[in-house]
Amino acid sequence: MRRKLRKKLAGFSPEFPADLDSWEMRGWREGLEDDLPVPALVLFLLNRVLGYRQLDPGDKGRWAVGCSVAGEPVAFRDRKFGFEILVAPGSTLEQKRILFPLKAALRVLEEELLVPEANEQIHDCRVAVINRFGEFSHRYQYFRTKADELFAQAEIRPSDRKGMEGLPSISAVTAEMNRAAVAEREAFFLSAAMVDAYYSLLEHRLILLRAFTGKPMAAGDFEKLLGANWEGKLVMVLDLNSKGREGKELLGELRRIKERIRNPFAHGGVENDRGSIYVQLGSFGAVPANFSRARNSIRFNFRPIVAEDHAAMCGVFDRLDAFLETDDLSLPHRFLDSSVDPAFDAGMLTEYTTAIKDGGEAVDEWIDRWSREWERHQNADY
Whether the per-residue pLDDT at 191 is higher than 70: the answer is yes
Contact at 8 Å (CB) between 61 and 8? no
pLDDT band at 31 (very low <50, low <70, confident <90, very high): confident
d(CA 110, CA 124): 19
Other beta carbons within 10 angstroms of residue 52's beta carbon come to 22
- What pLDDT is stored for residue 300 in this prediction? 43
Average pLDDT over residues 145-163: 76
Burial of 241: CB neighbours in 10 Å, binned 0-12, 13-18, 19+: exposed
What pLDDT, on a 0 to 100 scale, did the predictor assign at position 319?
Answer: 97
Between 277 and 319, whose confidence is greater? Answer: 319
Question: What is d(CA 171, CA 207) in angstroms, rounded to the nearest whole number?
Answer: 54
Mean of pLDDT values over 6-31 = 89
Provide the mean pLDDT of the chain: 88
- The arithmetic mean of pLDDT across residues 237-249, rounded, is 93
The more confident residue out of 260 and 162 is: 260
Q: What is the DSSP letter of 162?
A: B
| pLDDT the model gives residue 90 | 87
Count CB atoms within 10 A of the CB of residue 256: 13
What distance in Å separates the CA atoms of residue 376 and residue 295, rounded to the nearest whole number?
A: 57
Q: Is the pLDDT of residue 228 over 90?
A: yes
Residue 287 confidence (pLDDT) above 70: no
Task: Work out the average pLDDT over 65-76.
Answer: 96
Q: Tell me if 278 sits within 8 A of 289, measured CB to CB.
A: yes
State which amino acid sits at residue 81.
F
> Sorting pLDDT into bands at 50, 70 and 90, what band is 272?
low
pLDDT at residue 361 is higher than 80: yes
Min mean pLDDT across 153-167, 201-215, 256-270 is at 153-167
Cβ–Cβ < 8 Å for 270, 299: no
Start-end of H helices in 88-155? 95-109, 115-123, 133-153
Ranges 3-12, 80-89, 277-286: which has the least confidence: 277-286
Residue 196 pLDDT exceeds 50: yes
Average pLDDT, stretch 303-324?
93
Nearest to 237 by CA among 214, 260, 258, 218: 214
Confidence check: pLDDT of 99 > 90: yes
By C-alpha distance, which of 310, 303, 296 is closest to 190? Answer: 310
CA distance 207 to 87: 44
pLDDT for res 290 = 64
Return the percentage of the chain with pLDDT > 90, whole number: 68
What is the distance between the alpha carbons of residues 286 and 200, in angstroms, rounded to a whole number?
36
